[in-house]
Chains A and B, each alone.
Chain A
Amino acid sequence: MIDSKDLQLIKIIQHGLPITSRPFNEIGNQIGMNESEVIERLTCLKNTGLIKRFGVIVRHQRLGYTANAMVVFNIPDQSVVKVGEMISQAKYVNLCYQRPRQGTNWPYNLYCMIHGKNRSKVLQQLDQLIDTCKLSQFEREILFSRHCFKQRGAFYCTPTASSDLAFSVAHG
């Protein structure tokens, strides 16, 4: 269970860690907590899974990943977990989720994202995925992104919320 001190920590580091030699000491100084307590609490938050990971969060367009495909499949319910686990093994698959079908117009239940440097490369990787995971018999669609209207980064913060927090909402 997280307490108010954990929440303080979560809030203060949500936009990033200080880039200085002793970042956890600096954070501690800002909220009156010593460095070892900061480290202990953050380690614990990491172990419980509340912090998925620390590290760099890249702007994929700036790295040249401009072709971004959302590929959706209609997989029979009895095999969707097996297929999802197989698809997510491919190193060019960046996200993989199972989602509810939306009636006959949108019967898809498995979503994956492939970020690539150009469309032909992404289509080639998709062909490879279909071949490796034996997906050719399943109905599918490819939706490339045309324009990003809003990318708030990985932040979540509603003005009315009691605590403004950064979540991972990577689904670009």
Chain B
Amino acid sequence: MDEIDKTIINELQNGFPVCESPYQSAAEQLGISENELIDRLQKLLDDGILSRFGPMYHAEVMGGALTLAAIKVPEKKFDEIADIVNSFPEVAHNYQRTHDLNMWFVIATDTPIAIQNVIQSIEKQTGLHVYNMPKNKEYFVQLKLEA
């Protein structure tokens, strides 16, 4: 990854035009050719530095629901419980964190009621309480990581 790649990553986290030749317009802003932008983006995707190039949808506007959930898992049982939780297709991210409340995951479903069903099933299969922490309010941040 060189300076041009970094500039591409930094600039295209801010947005991408929706027009006939969007790579051409974005490339002009970046001071490179359309072909170079296309080649570099493809390589960043192939190398796994970018997970995706495309849209980010708003789950709630789509009618879906998201929540952040957590479980206090005994250390010895961590892998076993992680396997159960991760087997749910609605579980998007799952992180082990430095706390008694040590397993944190996001549940994404197509309807708000489905969140409750997933939580109940996880509680039943793990025998552990699931803390459910849906967002009450989201504060706007510039979601951008400098390359």
Contact = CB atoms under 8 A, between A and B. Distances in A.
Interface of A: 10, 13-17, 19-25, 35, 39, 42-43, 46, 48-60, 62-63, 65, 68, 70, 81, 84-85, 87-88, 91, 93-100, 102, 106, 109, 111, 115, 141-159, 161-163, 165-172
Contacts of A167: 56-59, 62, 64, 66, 108
Contacts, number: 257
A99 B133 contact: yes
Given A143-B98, A158-B89, A167-B59, A99 B68 contact: yes
Given A17-B53, A57-B52, A98-B136, A88 B141 contact: yes
8 contacts: A21-B34, A51-B55, A55-B56, A59-B50, A146-B97, A147-B95, A152-B93, A167-B56
Contacts of A14: 54-55, 57
Contacts of B23: 19-21, 23
A146 B98 contact: yes
- Interface SS majority for chain B: mixed
Contacts of A70: 97, 104
Given A14-B54, A48-B61, A141-B99, A56 B141 contact: no
Contact of B92 (A50, A84, A156, A161): A156
B38 A21 contact: yes
Interface of B: 8-9, 12-16, 18-24, 34, 38, 41-42, 44-45, 47-59, 61-62, 64, 66, 68, 82, 86, 89-99, 101, 104-106, 108-110, 114, 131, 133-143, 145, 147
A58 B49 contact: yes
Contact of A172 (B13, B66, B95): B95
Contacts of A115: 145
Contacts of A98: 135-139
Nearest to A45: B55
Contacts of B50: 56-59
Nearest to B135: A97
Contact of B141 (A50, A68, A96, A144): A96
A135 to B, nearest CB: 14
Contact of A153 (B52, B91, B94): B52
A170 B57 CA distance: 11
Most buried by B among A14, A54, A151: A54
Nearest to A170: B143
A111 B133 CA distance: 10
